[in-house]
Amino acid sequence: MNELLDVKELCVEYRTSRATIRAVKDVSFSLAKGSTLGLVGESGSGKSTLGHAIVRLVSPPGVIVRGRVSFDGIDLLSIDEDGMRKIRGKRIAMVFQDPMSSLSPVKKVGQHFVEYIREHEPSTSEAEALQRAKATFEDLGIDRSRVDDYPHQFSGGMRQRVMIGLAIALQPELIIADEPTTALDVVVEAQILELLKDLKRKYSLSMILITHNMGVVAETTDRIAVMYAGKLMEVAGTRKLFADPKNPYTRALLQSIPNILLDDQELRSIPGSPPDLANPPTGCPFHPRCPHVFDRCRVEEPKLKKVDGETETACHLFG
């Protein structure tokens, strides 16, 4: 099996006194070694929760209800916390959206590295760890001397590089990047995406790239998984998805992207609004907004299944 990560029927709920929100509903997908999977969806689609759930970082009131997350043969949901900790940061690393709030403002940037390196490789001395931090900085195009600076002294793009540096310092196998460029302007975004591509090649990384930006996934991913209201609606190869989207939601999503090449284009949005997850619609979650809706959609929730080669979709239009 070439699958590095295999997620099966993962369910995550947020349980508050007011309501229970099903943020991730029976999500199943797999990730081949060395490939990049784009996980796209609107805000509230559950993609970020899914990313956190893979490394068991869902914080209360969120709960991983059931499922299996198989990483290199290990079921991440059943090992003990200590074992999970050893994997976090060392074999699976996360990159977060806002680099300013992802670093402790009162801790020197270099110290973040040193602590982290020494946690996973305790025999490393403080001096050695610092050297490695400096080396990582160099790798990422940051001046070595800046290990002694504090997070607020960096610009947004530099900070994100630091974050990425923290993620790759111990050469993990999988990187989960949760909206890594959303907080950055387009120029810096391009640089960071380029950087990610380089690192991927250099260290043979596998990556899950979580974003709401279709443009970003088009460039950097091999496969794309589309999420809506906690459910996977379509999973397909990137090219295939853009060329021939099967699921009505995917189609609507792609159609809403303005095309700079066409003149006089009317902006097309998806009518309606994303569902209230505390009170989701019956059947298919997209049915209230779907142009192809019919009776079965309102009643029965479609299951994700293969419809055309490697493309999977969850839609009753496909039987």
Residues lying near another protein in the complex (CB under 8 A): 17, 52, 55, 57, 59, 85-90, 93-94, 96-98, 101-107, 115-116, 119-120, 150, 152-153, 163, 166
CB closer to another protein, 7 vs 232: 7
How many CA atoms within 13 Å lie on the side-chain side of 142?
30
**In sequence order, which residues have a C-beta less than 8 Å from that of residue 100 and are 6 or more positions away?**
151, 152, 156, 159, 183
CB closer to another protein, 72 vs 301: 72
Exposed / middle / buried, residue 201 (Cβ in 10 Å: 0-12, 13-18, 19+):
exposed
Q: Which of 197, 185, 184 minimizes the C-alpha distance to 99?
A: 184
CB closer to another protein, 150 vs 242: 150
Rounded CA separation 55/230 (Å) = 18
CB closer to another protein, 101 vs 204: 101
Q: How far is the CB of 163 from another protein (least distance, A)?
A: 8
Alpha carbon separation from 318 to 182, 307, 311 (Å, rounded)? 34, 7, 12
Q: How far is the CB of 284 from another protein (least distance, A)?
A: 32
Q: How far is the CB of 6 from another protein (least distance, A)?
A: 21
Q: End-to-end CA distance of the chain, in Å?
A: 29
Q: How far is the CB of 160 from another protein (least distance, A)?
A: 12
CB closer to another protein, 60 vs 291: 60
Q: How far is the CB of 235 from another protein (least distance, A)?
A: 25
Q: How far is the CB of 52 from another protein (least distance, A)?
A: 8
Q: How far is the CB of 167 from another protein (least distance, A)?
A: 8
CB closer to another protein, 37 vs 95: 95
Sheet with 36-40, strands from edge to edge, namely 92-95, 174-178, 206-211, 36-40, 223-228, 231-237, 311-313, 305-308
Beta strands per DSSP E along 122-199: 174-178
Q: What is the DSSP string of 224-284?
A: EEEEETTEEEEEEEHHHHHHS--SHHHHHHHHTS--TTSSSPPP---SS----TTSPPSSS
In the three-class reduction of DSSP (H, G, I as helix; E, B as strand; rest coil), residue 133 is classed as helix
CB closer to another protein, 69 vs 93: 93
